[in-house]
Structure 1
Amino acid sequence: MVQLYGKNLSRRDVAAHAGDLSQFAGVRSMTLDDGLERGIRMLEFRTGTGLRFTVLVDRAMDIADCDYQGKAIGWHSPSGFRHPGLHEYEGEGGLGWMRSFSGLMVTCGLDHILFMYDAPADNYVYGPRETIKQSIHGRVGTIPARLTGYGERWEGERCILWAEGRVRQATVFGEHLELVRRIEVEVGTNDIRLSDKVVNLGFYKTPHMYCYHINVAHPVLAEGSRYLAPIKDVVWAAHAGENYCKQNVGYRTAAAPLNPFHEQVWQHEMAADGNGEVPVALVNDALGLGFEVTTRKDQFPCMYEWQNFQSAHYALGIEPSTNHVLGQAGARERGEMIWLEHGDERRYDTRFRILTSADEIAASEARISGLAAQPAEDYPEPSGNFEPIRGRA
Structure 2
Amino acid sequence: MSIARLVADGLLSDAAAVDVADLRDERGARRIAVRIADGWSFDVLPDRGLDIGAAWWRGSPVAWRSPIEVDPGPARGWGERFLGGLVVTCGPDAIGVAGDGSLHGSHSATPAHAVTWRRARVAGSTVGAEITGAVDDVRMFGRHVRVERTISASDGDARLTVRDRIVNRGLEPAPVAFLYHVNLGAPAIVPGTRVEIDAERTLARERTDSVPDATVLPAPIDATEETVFEHRGIRSAHGVARAIVRTPTGRRTEISWSAEALPRCYQWVLPTRGGWALGIEPANAPLFGPERDDAGTRAVLLAPGESVETAVSIAHEEGTP
TM-score (norm 2): 0.91
**213, 225, 229: which is aligned to 1:262?**
225
Q: Structure 1 residue 358: deviation in Å?
A: 4.2
SS in 2 for 1:213: strand
Measured after TM superposition, the shift of residue 42 of structure 1 is 1.1
1:174 aligns with 2:142: yes
Distance in structure 1 (CA, Å) of the matches to 2:193 and 2:90: 26
CA distance in 2, matches of 1:167, 1:338: 18
1:256 Cα deviation from its structure 2 partner: 1.9
SS at 2:108 equivalent: helix
**What's 1:3 paired with?**
2
Seq. identity, %: 24
Q: Could you say what secondary structure the match of 1:203 adopts?
A: coil
2:50 equivalent in structure 1? 61
Structure 1 residues 211-250: aligned runs within 5 Å: 211-234=179-202, 236-240=203-207, 246-247=209-210, 249-250=212-213
Summarize deviations over 1:234-265 as a string: whole Å, max 9, x none.
Answer: 1x21224xxx5x33542111112211141000
1:313 alignment partner, SS class? coil
Q: In the alignment, what sits opposite 1:130?
A: none
Matched to 1:54, the amino acid is D
CA deviation map 1:22-59 (0-9, x unaligned): 323232211112xxxx2111111222114211110111
Q: Which amino acid in 2 is paired with 1:17? A: L
Compute the displacement of 1:328 (Å). 9.0
Do the aligned residues in 2 keep the contact of 1:216 with 1:316 (CA within 8 Å)? yes
Which runs of structure 2 are paired with 1:184-199 in the superposition (5 Å)? 184-199=152-167
User: In the alignment, does 2:150 pair up with 1:161?
Assistant: no
What residue number does 2:91 align with? 109
What's 2:304 paired with? 342
Select the residue among 65, 84, 87 that pairs with 2:74: 87
Residue 141 of structure 1: SS of its match in structure 2?
A: helix
TM-superposition CA deviations, 1:308-343 (whole Å, max 9, x none):
111121110000111123369626355463112221
Letter in 1 for 2:17: F
Aligned-partner Cα distance in 1 for 2:78–2:128: 34
Residues 250 and 343 (structure 1), Cα distance of their counterparts in 2 relative to 1, 3 Å cut: same
Structure 2 CA distance, aligned partners of 1:338 and 1:348?
13
The number of residue pairs the alignment matches comes to 319
Correspondences of 1:24-39 after superposition (within 5 Å):
24-33=17-26, 38-39=27-28
What is the CA–CA distance in structure 1 between the aligned matches of 2:248 and 2:292, rounded to whole Å? 39
**How far apart are the structure 2 equivalents of 1:296 and 1:209?**
15
Distance 1:249 1:72 in 2: 27
Q: CA deviation at 1:148?
A: 3.4
Partner AA of 1:107 in structure 2: T
- Measure the CA separation in 2 of the matches of 1:190 and 1:81: 30
Would you say the 8 A contact 2:211–2:227 is kept in 1? no
CA–CA distance in structure 1, aligned partners of residues 204 and 177 of structure 2: 21
Contact 1:270 1:303 in 2 (8 A): no
Give the conservation status (yes or no) of the 8 Å contact 1:45–1:53.
yes
Of the candidates 146, 169, 178, which is equivalent to residue 201 of structure 1?
169
Q: Which runs of 5+ in 2 are unaligned?
A: none
Map 1:290-305 → 2, pairs under 5 A: 290-305=252-267
Structure 1 residues 224 and 31: CA distance shift in structure 2, 3 A: same
| Larger-Rg structure | 1
In the other structure, the counterpart of 1:21 is 14
Cα deviation 1:107-155 (Å, max 9, x = unaligned): 00011111012xxxxxxxxxxxxxxx24210111111111432111223
- Greater CA drift, 99-108 or 55-64: 99-108
Could you tell me which residue of structure 1 aligns to residue 275 of structure 2? 313
Assess if the C-alpha contact under 8 Å between 1:31 and 1:40 holds in 2: yes
The answer for the alignment partner of 1:12 in structure 2 is 8
Amino acid at match of 2:98: M
Kindly indicate whether the alpha-carbon contact (under 8 Å) linking 2:18 and 2:119 is maintained by their aligned counterparts in 1: no
Distance 1:152 1:224 in 2: 38
Residues 285 and 352 of structure 1: is their aligned pair in 2 closer, same or farther, counting only changes over 3 Å? same
Task: Say what the alpha-carbon RMSD is for the aligned residues.
Answer: 2.2
CA contact (8 A) 2:164 2:311 kept: yes
Name stretches of at least 5 consecutive residues in structure 1 with no aligned partner.
Answer: 118-132, 360-393
Query: Greater strand share, 1 or 2?
Result: 2
Alpha carbons 1:177, 1:198 under 8 Å: kept: yes
Work out whether residues 47 and 190 of structure 1, in 8 Å CA contact, stay in contact via their aligned partners in 2.
no
Distance 1:328 1:338, change over 3 A: farther
Q: Secondary structure at the residue paired with 1:22?
A: helix
Alignment of structure 1 residues 278-293 onto 2, 5 Å: 278-286=241-249, 288-293=250-255
The answer to whether the Cα contact below 8 Å between 1:113 and 1:327 also exists between their aligned partners in 2 is: no
Q: TM-score, normalised by structure 1?
A: 0.76
Cα distance in 2 for partners of 1:248, 1:328 equals 23
Q: How many Å separate the matches in 1 of 2:267 and 2:126?
A: 35
Give the partner amino acid of 1:111.
Answer: D
